[in-house]
Structure 1
Amino acid sequence: MTSRRFIGLIFSCLLAISPALAERKVDHVIILSIDGGKPKVILQTEMPQLQRLVQEGAHTWVANTIFPPKTLPSHTSMVTGVGPEKHGILWNDWMPLRGMVKVPTIFSLVKAADPEAGTAWICGKGKFRHLWLPGSLDVFDLNGPQQPGPASMEFNRLKAPAQKVAGQVKGWLAEHQPQVMMVHFPDVDAAGHASGWGSPEQQEALRVVDQALGQVVRAEKDSPMADSSVIIVTADHGGHEKNHAENIPDDMNIPWIAWGKGVKPGFEIQQPVTTYDTAATALWLLGLEVPASFDGKPVVEAFDFPVKAAPAGK
């Protein structure tokens, strides 16, 4: 085989495994997850920062998570675009012997399309390490940047509250402009398990998260990303009493809010939305073809991008 034919074969293989390019609509997507953010409790709580995004963006209060409505399985669907029967993560703790997720994430797909693209996950729980595929994230931050590779069971105990997470996001966005970033606030879930869903303590946690959300939005607006980005605010599950494990609306309903470039202002989304649609929407916004293996579909109804005229002669 000649060197020219060999190079051609390698190039063909890379094309085969890289996501196909479509029309890019924005340059940056931030997905912000309020762990345990039950819509009914959110609507009963004063959250001016979130309400501003609702008023200026598109939303639904009746999106659904996957079953089981647990943090790790749900976030796995959120960033892989598939349900648990495909991604296989049904446990809900950092269990190092089980290894990494076996399907691509939005971070690995973005990197496959453009190795120079920035990717980041600023989180509040260590269990998300299962979703850190090799080479997929420029930063995985949990109380500071973490190192790739093996980690002990002790990593499961690491937590970072919303204000800490927001501070890390602010610092990161001041110097970097990732193409896709995941931000996770754990406070509301912790308050729900301790005091109950809808309790005064959980509502106070929501108010703290709302302040942290405001910090993230201001950091985005102060960055070069501001004119070409979309922020998606959602949750992994709801809850009732002090848990979330049942296939009932209290546990399964989640909010889904889009805000930023091209988003229809003050629009209530009518199409059904499931948590794995978040991954599909992020890829669609970034101009990457949504894989046929995805269960998720882009929430196109939430957006109103101008239709480009076809080139002359087409």
Structure 2
Amino acid sequence: MVRSFFILTLLFCLPLSSLSAAEKSKHVLLLGIDGCRFDALTKANTPNLDKLLADGSYSSSALILGKRYQKNDTVSGPGWGSIVTGVWADKHNVQDNGFKEPHFDKFPHFFHHVKQSMPEAKTLSIINWSPIKNYMVSSADISIDTTSVPKSYQMWDDAAAEYAVDLIEKEKPTAMMLYFGEVDEAGHAHGFHPSVPEYIAAIEHVDSLVGKVLATIDKQTDQQWLIAVVSDHGGLGTGHGGGHNKPEILNSFLIVSGAAAEKGKFDEQVYIVDAVPTLLTYLGVEIDDAWQLDGHAVGLKSESP
């Protein structure tokens, strides 16, 4: 009787915020913005991405190549391959956009690890660069590619956001990937640089779509989300291939945002392969050494005793 009274007293003494956080289910979003330079993002009017920055940890120079292996081309295939698996291209073996002999069976999309640890988890992928769906995504309960004819990345991004808003409400995914492609398309057409109006306009349009997704997430009051925002590469001129010695291409960015995230700029060098281990760690998925992940969890608050 005394012990029960003590426990009840302790619970009533805890802040209400602590109690509510403990009751909320955990969810993660890997938000990919292809070909987005951080210096252009900070110049653009992006209130929604700015909010994610303010509510988390970030790096303006998350490297797209690791120390151990740097032979792959600086294009989307190896970039997204490394992001979704948490390993570098010598392991997943996507060296360019050819996908000749990918090893995603050995180094799978992070959904695989989520489902292995949490079989009841719902996983959702919404993309519009088709190789992600065709080669990389596995263990997805719902996998959507919004590409269609005629070609229009802006239209495809609009559709991706609409699917996201609808399915977050209906499916309540535990782990989700959402990809936007129009920023990269604008860079190839007009130039990857903060001074290019069309490039800035594409970033601002994507930000408006991010706002719709965040508004939907905010309505899920019984859920607590961790959001990792990342790009696969930067750009220089109208391209980004062969960028091994070009900081404008090598430097991507990483934002880790949510109630469980530390606030401010990362003190350490971070890499695009750090996004997946961060999301898995937040969900409580125990990282197995056998997975050979090259990234590690970053930006998360230390758990209280």
Provide TM-score, normalisation by structure 1: 0.79
Q: How many residues align?
A: 266
Report the Cα offset of residue 211 of structure 1: 0.2
Distance in 2 between residues matched to 1:50 and 1:305, nearest whole Å: 24
Which residue identity is paired with 2:95?
A: L
Tell me whether 1:85 sits opposite 2:90 in the alignment. Answer: yes
Deviation per CA, 1:138-166, whole angstroms, max 9, x where unpaired?
1111129xxxxxxxxx99x7966322211
Report the Cα offset of residue 295 of structure 1: 0.6
Structure 2 gap segments, 5+ residues each: 1-23, 66-71
Residue 276 of structure 1 aligns to a residue whose secondary structure is: helix
Which residue identity is paired with 2:240?
A: H
Distance in 2 between residues matched to 1:112 and 1:271, nearest whole Å: 30
Distance in 2 between residues matched to 1:91 and 1:115, nearest whole Å: 33
Judged with a 3 Å threshold, the aligned counterparts in structure 2 of structure 1 residues 89 and 99 are, in CA distance, closer, same or farther, namely closer
Residue 140 of structure 1 aligns to a residue whose secondary structure is: strand
Distance in 1 between residues matched to 2:108 and 2:253, nearest whole Å: 25
Distance in 2 between residues matched to 1:260 and 1:82, nearest whole Å: 24
Q: Where does 1:8-19 land on structure 2 (aligned, <5 Å)?
A: none
Residue 141 of structure 1 aligns to a residue whose secondary structure is: strand
2:189 to 188, 191, 194: 194
Judged with a 3 Å threshold, the aligned counterparts in structure 2 of structure 1 residues 118 and 225 are, in CA distance, closer, same or farther, namely farther
Distance in 1 between residues matched to 2:102 and 2:272, nearest whole Å: 23
Contact (CA 8 Å) 1:26, 1:285: kept in 2 or not?
no
Tell me whether 1:101 sits opposite 2:96 in the alignment. Answer: no
Which residue identity is paired with 2:261?
A: V
Deviation per CA, 1:10-32, whole angstroms, max 9, x where unpaired?
xxxxxxxxxxxxxxx97111010
Aligned position for 2:123: 119
Aligned position for 1:47: 46
Distance in 1 between residues matched to 2:185 and 2:222, nearest whole Å: 32
Deviation per CA, 1:196-238, whole angstroms, max 9, x where unpaired?
1122111100010110111111111112564x21111111110
2:78 to 73, 77, 80: 73
Q: Where does 1:168-207 land on structure 2 (aligned, <5 Å)?
A: 168-198=163-193, 199-207=196-204
Distance in 1 between residues matched to 2:82 and 2:255, nearest whole Å: 17
Which residue identity is paired with 2:121?
A: A
Report the Cα offset of residue 263 of structure 1: 1.5
Report the Cα offset of residue 173 of structure 1: 0.4
Aligned position for 1:13: none
Contact (CA 8 Å) 2:92, 2:103: kept in 1 or not?
no
Which residue identity is paired with 1:237?
A: H
Sequence identity (%): 27
Aligned position for 1:254: 252
Distance in 2 between residues matched to 1:26 and 1:72, nearest whole Å: 33
Contact (CA 8 Å) 1:28, 1:225: kept in 2 or not?
no
Report the Cα offset of residue 68 of structure 1: 2.6
Q: Which moved more, 1:29-38 or 1:108-117?
A: 108-117
Contact (CA 8 Å) 1:177, 1:224: kept in 2 or not?
no
1:264 to 236, 251, 262: 262
Structure 1 gap segments, 5+ residues each: 1-24, 145-153, 309-314
1:240 to 236, 239, 254: 236
Aligned position for 1:9: none
Judged with a 3 Å threshold, the aligned counterparts in structure 2 of structure 1 residues 59 and 84 are, in CA distance, closer, same or farther, namely same
Aligned-pair Cα RMSD in Å: 2.3
Aligned position for 1:311: none
Contact (CA 8 Å) 1:26, 1:286: kept in 2 or not?
no
